[in-house]
Every structure is written in structure tokens, then in C-alpha cells.
A and B are shown apart, each in its own frame.
Chain A
């Protein structure tokens, strides 16, 4: 068997273009997929006109100074702002297609916010020629305005709380540069109680003062609930995230696992399918199985060839990606286990393809046709399609090695759990596809 393996390696060595394509193509595809899932869309160009004069950017809300220009900084992380000098220029840029949208902040927004009586508003103009980007601009601006709203609401709620606390407990208060001393309900109640003691018992004035004391106590007790109420108003809904399925893998680490899985799939499938089909195309198969090597031995040799080459390519790829993405090298033995199981499983599938198609070109074509949909299906998230369709996708993904190989690599690289299950899954697929390819060899010669 080793002589056959050496023969195949020698033949590969004499096909440098094929080897280069076999290695470079999947790496390029894998890198593109990795980039596609780990990078967001480009920042859209949005015209930005701030009609608020620089001197009016800072407003005083309940005695606190708020710089409105700082509220727009978050937005600029998500868009590429093109600053313009007027509303008209902003709209013209949208019409001309120079920008995807325009955001106009009117001059009166500061005044409206400062009075607290009218809500401020911003104007947004879209170019809808590219629906995907339009949606992105719309969502980005909306979310940033929501964030600004939430921040202002919280500040207003905080300020209201401070004022209520002042009414309840008393203290000093500053307004328009002047300081005031506020007595507060608590102190008022104490003063009234003291005064009531000096009043004649049973008198009408005493009864009225007792009524005011009761009101002060009731108001103070009820105002103590306002803290909680206003805190809820300031931030009505909080987000508390809990991961149900899947690990804590970062997007870049997952992209590494995905890139390696894609490369593994292409290299192993093409090598296994092609090298087996080549034995028939060269008419050597019949001569080999006449007693020189058993059919099972030939399959094992081809599986070994494809798995060894793919293993080496994937390991090199991980080493290279490790220069750019932080990988946990202490899990290296797990990487090896995932790579070995994944490459062998793909090799068995490749052998089945080669045995069924019996021609190198047909085998390569079928391997390509099978590989890309398998990769895309494995990446469909739950909830993205109807439940019944998702179940079908899960079944299809489970009977081919891509999804379990990706799971195994993710678990090995990122400690996301489930490595044992994924390895067992791959082992079962190896046995299944190896059996299928052995059966297909009956009509191979």
C-alpha cells in the first residue's frame, strides 16, 4: 500500500498546477467566506447637516449641561459622514447619488429639548436605489436616535428624581446661577408638629394643622416610591442575554474554524474522488485488484492520501491564521483530533464520489456541486427559515461531514463544547461513506 501512496504523491508532485489550484482555491474561498461572516457591511456614506449653531450645542436640562454634539459621535461609528453646509446641499447629495442618505439636525432642536415641553426631531432622507444599504442606513440612524433618546430620558428622569428628593427631604437648589434653600416635606412636617404642640387642644386651628401634618407624611411616604417608578421610566426595558445553544465563540474564531473546514472539504473531497477515479481512467484499477492490492486496501490508501495532504494543508492554514487571530495553542491536541476525524470523514465521502462517478472530471464536478451547498446549508441559523425546512436542512447537514467537521473544529479551537459528539459523528460518517464506496467499487472496473 505504501508504494501506491508514494506513487500518488509522486504523481501529485508532477502536477504543480493542479496542486496549486487544489490548495489555493479552497484557501481563497475559505478566506472570502471568513471575511463575509466576520465583517459587517461597509459604512454607508451619509450627508450630515447640523443646523444647531456651535454656541447652542450645549443645552441645560434641569440644571445639567448636555453637549448635543457628543450625542452624534456614536452615529459616526456606524456611518461615513459627509458634512455639508445646508439642508438643501444634503438633499442634493442624496439626489445626485453622492451619498446614500442625509441626516439633518434642525436648528430648533436645542431649544425644544431645553424647554422639555416639545420633543426634538431630526430629519432623514434616503436613497433607495440599493435596498440593502437603505435598510442598513435606516436601521443605523434609528438605533442611534433611540440610544440618544434613551440617554436623554435617563438624564431627565435622574433630574426629576433629584427634584422630588429635594421636595421630600429638602436641601439646596441651584437655578439660573442662583442658590435656593428648599425646606422639604420632612422638615415641614417636623416644624408643624412642633407648632401644633403650642396650639390649644381642641381648637379648630390645631385640627387644620394636624390635617396638613397628615398630608405632609402621606406625600413623603408616597414620594419614596417615585424613585423606583422614575428609574423604570428612565430605562423601561433592560436587555439580559442568556446563551441557550452554542458556545461563546467569537466571530473571528468561528471564521477561522469555518475557513479551515471549507478548505478541508475541498482538498479532501477532490483528492480522494480524483485519485480513485484516476485509477480507473488510467485503466490501472483492474490490474491492481487482480491480487496486487485488495479493493479495501486501495480505498484505505486513497483515504490516507487525501487525509494526509488535507491534514497538512489545514494545519499550515491554522498556523498562518494564528498569526492574525488569537488561537488557544494549549488546545493543539484537540485541533489534531478534529483535523484527523474531519479529513478522514471527507475522504470517505470523496471515495464514494469517485467510486460512483468513475471519471476524474465527473468526480471533480460532483465534488464541487456537493461541497458549496453543504457549506451554505450548514451555516443556515435556526429561525432563519420555517421550522420544517430547518429540520430538513439539519438532517441533510447531519448526513454529510461538513457540519460535524465545523462543529469539531469550533469545539477544538474555541472550547465551545461537544467535541466528543462531533468526533463520534464524523467517525460514523467515515464508516458509512467508506462502506458506500466499497459497494460502489463492485461496478468500478
Chain B
């Protein structure tokens, strides 16, 4: 099954990933266009993180290919990948240098503005709240100004207020033309923020399209999106 868009900046086709006997991804193809917000949803063990890891280049697929039109692919892991003994500014500066950004100081400045953490820039990561750490985590994924941003469970472990601020931040990025592909357990978030959803279960891509289309497939347009999603999984035998 394929999720197609008009002008893909990221395209994966026929991805297969095996861990021993278990097939974590089964012939998954996916593409995303400029400025799109694509949510990858599915039950636990569906293969969401594996798919994002392959798109990010962290893992290699056993079969299939990934291509991107140009520019970098930013990746934001589920757990903040940061150094808790370094300050916000030092973390950003370190990764800016490692990313070989032309002007690291300017990039750090820009990210401090984007995350709204300028006042906390000299605080060590270890003393920040989970939400603020996640903002820095995302900012690091954006340092190289990637055309595509991959987010793995970006709002997990955040309180509602922090989640709201995080999504404002992500929507702003998408509004500026960044393609965002995110994996989430939170079906309501996918319904609320994603322009399209990709439903994965047991390594299979079962559906791709706008959330409303999923409701139509299930034939339960009067239900909440989460109920439609669960009904869809039941229909598909998962």
C-alpha cells in the first residue's frame, strides 16, 4: 500500500525490516510533500519507530529504498537525545558544530528564539522540565534547517499545556514549509494536527489518507476519530 503526494520531498518504497524471525516492516511505502504533517499511528509494536528510524537513516532496511529530494532530514527521537550536564546553549552549539552549520552562533540564536528558551539558555538540561527538554530536542533536529523533520512520539510524557505549546511550535514549522512526519500513540493528536495519517499494524501499512477518509472507510462518520481507528483495526483483523 502506498501513501502518495503531489510533490514528495521524502519517499520510501517497499521497506522491509526483519529482527530475526520477526518482520517489523512488511513492504511499506510512504511519501510526504513539502509542508505536510503526516502522522504515523498504530498499536504498540506496529513498527512506527522502526519506520521513522529507517527514514532517518539510523537503521538500514533489509529491502526497499528511501530517497529525499534535497536538503537534510532532521530527526527527533522519542527520548531527548541531549547532554544533561550541558546548558541549553551548549547543547545547541555542540550539535550545530557537529552538523557543520555555517554560522553556529546564529543557528543557536535562532533556535533559542524558536523554542522561547532564551532566558533558560544558561541552565543545564538536567534542571529543565520534560517539555522544555523536548523543545531543545526538537530544536537540535532543526539546526541544519532540514526540509523534512521526523518526530518520534514528540508529545509523550508532556502535560497538556506543554503539548499545546509543542504543537504550536510544530505547526509553525509546517507553515514555514517544513515537512513533518511524526509517530504517535495519541490518536486525537493525529486527528487534530495531521493533514494525513498512515496506519501501521504488525508492520503492515493498512491505510494512508486524511483522518476523515479513515472514518469514511470504516463507515462510522458519527464516531470520534479514535473509535473509528479502533473499528478500522478490528475490521482489518488487528
Q: Which residues of A contact B (CB under 8 A)?
A: 3-4, 7, 10-11, 14-15, 282-284, 286-293, 445
- Minimum CB–CB distance from A137 to chain B (whole Å) comes to 56
Please name all residues of chain A whose beta carbon is closer than 8 Å to the beta carbon of B97 when the two chains form the complex. Answer: 3
- B84 nearest in chain A by CB position: A282
Please name all residues of chain A whose beta carbon is closer than 8 Å to the beta carbon of B81 when the two chains form the complex. Answer: 282-284, 286-287
Most chain B C-beta atoms within 10 Å of own C-beta, residue among A283, A284, A287, A290: A287
Q: B98 in the interface, Cβ–Cβ < 8 Å?
A: yes
Report yes or no: B58 in contact with A7, Cβ–Cβ below 8 A: no
Report yes or no: B90 in contact with A283, Cβ–Cβ below 8 A: no
Q: A290-B75, A292-B95 are in contact. Are A284 and B57 (CB under 8 A)?
A: no
Report yes or no: B83 in contact with A7, Cβ–Cβ below 8 A: yes
B40-97 contacts to A, CB under 8 A, are 53, 56-58, 75, 77, 79-86, 90, 94-95, 97
Q: Which listed residue (B57, B86, B99, B124) contacts A7, Cβ 8 A?
A: B86
Q: A10-B90, A292-B95 are in contact. Are A283 and B77 (CB under 8 A)?
A: yes
**Total residue contacts A-B, CB cutoff 8 A:** 51
- B99 nearest in chain A by CB position: A292
Q: Which listed residue (B57, B79, B82, B90) contacts A290, Cβ 8 A?
A: B57
Please name all residues of chain A whose beta carbon is closer than 8 Å to the beta carbon of B79 when the two chains form the complex. Answer: 283
Report yes or no: B58 in contact with A286, Cβ–Cβ below 8 A: yes
- List, sorted by A's number, 28 A–B pairs whose CB atoms are closer than 8 Å: A3-B97, A3-B98, A4-B98, A7-B90, A10-B85, A10-B90, A11-B83, A14-B85, A15-B85, A282-B83, A282-B84, A283-B80, A283-B82, A284-B82, A286-B77, A286-B81, A287-B75, A287-B95, A287-B140, A290-B56, A290-B57, A290-B58, A290-B75, A291-B57, A292-B95, A292-B98, A292-B99, A293-B98
Complex-state Cα separation, A327 to B102, whole angstroms: 51
Complex-state Cα separation, A425 to B229, whole angstroms: 63
Please name all residues of chain B whose beta carbon is closer than 8 Å to the beta carbon of A288 when the two chains form the complex. Answer: 98
- Minimum CB–CB distance from A297 to chain B (whole Å) comes to 11
- B75 nearest in chain A by CB position: A290
Complex-state Cα separation, A282 to B140, whole angstroms: 14
Complex-state Cα separation, A293 to B94, whole angstroms: 12
Complex-state Cα separation, A282 to B82, whole angstroms: 6
